[in-house]
Amino acid sequence: MDLWFTEKQTENMALSLRLKTALHREQTKYQDLLLVDTYQFGRMLVLDGCIMTTEVDEFVYHEMMAHVPLFTHPNPRRVLVVGGGDGGVIREVLKHPTVEEAILAEIDERVIAVCKEYLPSISHALDDPRCKIMIGDGIEFVRQHKNAFDVIIVDSTDPIGPAVGLYAKAFYRSVYEALTEDGLFVAQTESPFVNPQFIRDVQRRVGEVFPITTLYWAAVPTYPTGFWSITLGSKKHDPRTVDVRTRFEQLNLETKYYDPEYHRMAFHLPRFARNLTWDAQKAAMEKGIELPVGLPGMGPEKTAGALDGTADKEEKA
């Protein structure tokens, strides 16, 4: 029997992968959870029909979400990961010997349990004694902490449903307050090929809170278009100018994607994506011009209507 999994990534685009077998499926309290084994990308975690991670390409996303902020900060000791129940970001965070504690705030405990059973190469660091797991609402957890973390990594699902609050300006203010005086945070922010307005909005919201706001990218084959963006907000340290080479060589980290050259290169965006950054938006406003959003002929955004001004309305409530 020829089995295929298809993720409808937008109204007009889909990704299909041939399956060896379906390993696990359940409806948790929060989402549909599926674990399958594919011929092309190995085992794959799917939440509510969206590919979250695969054994073959997971290293790209997890390394770039973790090492860019942790090498930007000179001495990261306490790190918070919001979401990321598969454990991949935690695994990369704990490669840094300065990290004394890494807290995982995951709302769905079943994601953790299933990934521990079926994705041990990704999840094994969840058993590290430096890792503390908090099952519950990550937004509320962040709100309850002040001056507590050197780095916060928001490894969330797509900005629909319960995850919408993770992209609100109120949440970014809570993140700012939860960080130490020279702390920084990152969040995945989708693809500029299918979500340009969303990225632009997030960049603006973060930029209105953090003095340093920038955007970088990574090539993740199983995510929509393979061109994935990550937003970084920092109180003090600029990831574009910091020297990461010395520490990287001293630590001799085992990575497959991240290195000092790619750290620098990841912030060099093509012009159409660079127009979405907060720096570009500010420069355009000063000149009284309007930058283009999206590309000619592009279909509707994957997250079109997901925010619908919700984040801004929260600020006024």
Instruction: Tell whether 69 is covered by a domain.
Output: yes
155 is catalytic: yes
For residue 13, give the amino acid letter: M
Domain assignment of residue 223, yes or no:
yes
| Mean pLDDT calculated for residue range 280-305 | 85
Q: What are phi and psi of 87, to 5 degrees?
A: 90, 0
Same domain, 41 and 71: no
Collapsing DSSP states into helix, strand and coil, what is residue 296? coil
Type of residue numbered 203: Q
55 near 39, Cβ under 8 Å? no
pLDDT of residue 302: 67
Nearest to 150 by CA among 218, 211, 103: 103
Q: Is the pLDDT of residue 311 over 60?
A: no
Task: Give the strands of the sheet with 32-38, arranged side by side.
Answer: 3-10, 13-27, 32-38, 42-47, 50-54
In this structure, what CATH number is given to the domain that contains residue 151? 3.40.50.150
pLDDT band for 182, please (50, 70, 90 cuts). very high
Do 159 and 124 share a domain, yes or no? yes
Whether 23 and 160 share a structural domain: no
Query: Which residues are CB-neighbours of 189 under 8 A, at least 6 positions away?
Result: 195, 198, 199, 202, 203, 215, 229, 230, 231
Q: Which residue has the tokens 């937004």?
A: 139
Asked whether residue 144 falls in the same domain as residue 207, the answer is yes
Write the pLDDT tens digit of every residue in 228-279: 999 999 999 999 999 999 999 999 999 999 999 999 999 999 999 999 999 9
pTM, whole model, 2 decimals? 0.94
What is residue 160's predicted lDDT score, i.e. its pLDDT? 67
Assess whether 116 and 18 both reside in one domain. Answer: no
pLDDT band of residue 162 (cuts 50, 70, 90) is low
Is 298 contained in some domain? no
Same domain (yes/no): 161, 102: yes
The CATH number of the domain where 33 resides is what?
A: 2.30.140.10
30/177 same-domain check? no
- Say what the pLDDT of residue 298 is: 86
Range of the domain at 11: 3-54
Confirm whether 314 is domain-assigned.
Answer: no
Query: How large is the average pLDDT for residues 210-226?
Result: 98
Residues 192 and 220 grouped into a single domain: yes
pLDDT for 309 beyond 50? no
Residue 308 exposed, middle or buried by CB count within 10 Å (0-12, 13-18, 19+): exposed
Catalytic residue among 86, 108, 150, 155: 155
Task: Residue 301: name the closest of 215, 222, 155, 200 by CA.
Answer: 200
One domain, residues 19 and 73: no
With tokens 């004394």, the residue in question is 100
What is the mean predicted confidence (pLDDT) over 9-34?
Answer: 97
Q: Which residues of 146-169 are buried (b: 16+ CB within 10 A; e: fewer)?
A: eebbbbbbbbbbbbeeebbbbbbb
Same domain, 31 and 101: no
Question: Are 142 and 184 contained in the same domain?
Answer: yes
- 302, 310, 134, 307: which is closest to 225 by C-alpha? 302
Contact 203/145 with Cβ under 8 angstroms?
no
Rounded mean pLDDT of 94-122? 98
How many domains is the chain built from?
2
| 50-77 residue pLDDT tens | 999 999 999 999 999 999 999 999 999 9
What is the pLDDT confidence band of residue 317, given thresholds at 50, 70 and 90?
very low
Tokens of 235: 């109180």
**Is the domain of 69 the same as that of 127?**
yes
- Residue spans of alpha helices (H) in the chain: 58-72, 88-93, 109-118, 120-123, 138-143, 169-178, 196-207, 245-251, 260-265, 271-274, 278-287, 310-316
Q: Is residue 309 part of a domain?
A: no
pLDDT value of position 313: 46
Other C-beta atoms closer than 10 Å to the C-beta of 311 total: 21
What is the token pair recorded at 50? 């969206």
The mean pLDDT of the chain is 94
**CA atoms within a 13 Å half-sphere pointing along the CA-CB vector of 310:** 18
In this prediction, residues 107-111 reach a mean pLDDT of: 97
Rg of the chain taking only CA atoms, in angstroms: 19
